[in-house]
Amino acid sequence: MPELPEVETVRRELSESLKPGIEIERLEMHRPDLRFKIPIKLPKLLAGARLYQIRRRAKYLLWEIERETVQGTMLSHLGMTGAWRFTQDAPELHDHVSIYFRDGRKLVYSDPRRFGYLDWIEGDRDQHKLLRHLGPEPIDEAAFTAEYLFTRTRKRPGPIKSLLMNQNLVVGVGNIYASEALFRAGLRPLKPARSLRLENCEKLVQSIREVLWAAIDSGGSTIRDYKNVSGGSGEFAQKLMVYDRVGEKCRKCKTAIKMRTLAGRSTYWCPACQS
């Protein structure tokens, strides 16, 4: 479900509701695993602990926790259908984890497909197994540059679209925003990555940033499942130029949008606007 804009929206909403230093009463697991086993010690670590900040790295949320002298990070990922929401109701079918705060609120993680993750990190977060190999944040203007993209694409004969979704190259871009960024850049998804010229990289880097920022401004895209913390939808779906629009008219030139499967993922483009 969620790519960078959706995860960032969730992070902002959670940060808004959970002020730094808020005290956690307890965490309850309603099953032992999501995609992976949830650390058995997590409830013990969080009981009576304080939450100081929620950061984002790629599509992961990093919850900074302190309890007496113990400092650590709870890592969470929404997978395809994960969602955090505040509720007072008893756990529903796909509610897997509940966090009770001292102030009486309860935050629940629900995830029908259970592709999400929950883990505990002590020490250097960047060395965590799931974070170690991640590329730069697309929003980082110093790290994610045209030159960087140009260098990293030189030996890549494969389609640029698949490479954009590879989190080792750049993080946060998933199936929706890969197609959308390529539309903005005027590049076909199937174009071999190594055939990109420096000016293409320039444009693409800029397009990725623009589309991600615009999507964050709209609270992300809801196509099917994505819901923000208040249960609302992201409004960017209405502004998508190609994603999920096969056969419909290009919003720029009226040509019918094309679709094909690339590395198992639906890929959309305008045959007239993109080359």
Partner DNA sequence: CTAAATACCTGATGGC
Partner DNA sequence: TGCCATCAGGTATTTA
Q: Which residues bind DNA (CB under 7 A)?
A: 1-3, 6, 35, 58-59, 77, 79-80, 93-94, 112-115, 130, 133, 155-159, 162-163, 165, 167, 174-176, 193, 220-226, 234, 261, 263-266
State which residue, 65 or 111, has the beta carbon closest to DNA: 111
Q: Mapping DSSP to helix (H, G, I), strand (E, B) and coil, where does residue 146 land?
A: helix
Of 3, 6, 8, 180, which is the active-site residue? 3
Q: Which residue from 37, 159, 134, 29 is spatially nearest to 91, judged by alpha carbons?
A: 29
Which residue, 115 or 213, is less far from DNA as judged by CB? Answer: 115
Residue from 11, 59, 245, 258 carrying the catalytic annotation:
59
Minimum Å gap between C-beta 159 and DNA is: 6
Q: Smallest gap, in angstroms, from Cβ of residue 68 to DNA?
A: 31
Cβ 58 to DNA shortest distance, Å: 6
Question: Is 265 noted as a catalytic residue in this protein?
Answer: yes
Residue closer to DNA by CB (options 49, 83) is: 83
Q: Kindly tell me which of 15 and 266 has the beta carbon lying closer to DNA.
A: 266
CB of 19 to DNA, least distance (A): 27
Sequence-separated (6 or more) residues with CB below 8 Å from residue 17: 86, 105, 229
**Which is nearest to 161 in space by CA: 195, 197, 191?**
191
- 59 is a catalytic site residue: yes
**Rounded Cα gap, residues 188 and 235, in angstroms:** 25
| Rounded Cα–Cα distance for residues 152 and 241 (Å) | 27
| Bridge-based pairing state of the strands 106-110 and 117-121 | unpaired
Question: Cβ 36 to DNA, closest distance in Å?
Answer: 8
The amino acid sitting at 246 is: V
Whichever of 105 and 113 has its CB closer to DNA, that residue is 113
Which is closer to DNA, CB of 165 or CB of 204? Answer: 165
114 sits in the region (left: phi over 0; alpha: psi -120 to 50; else beta) called left
Query: Is 2 one of the annotated active-site residues of the chain?
Result: yes
Burial class (CB in 10 A: 0-12, 13-18, 19+), 259: middle
| Closest approach of DNA to the CB of residue 264, in Å | 5
Q: How far apart are CA 73 and CA 162, in angstroms?
A: 31
Contacts 24+ apart (CB under 8 A), 152-157: 153/193, 153/194, 153/196, 153/201, 154/194, 155/194, 156/192, 156/193, 156/194, 157/192, 157/193, 157/194
Residues noted as catalytic: 2-3, 59, 265
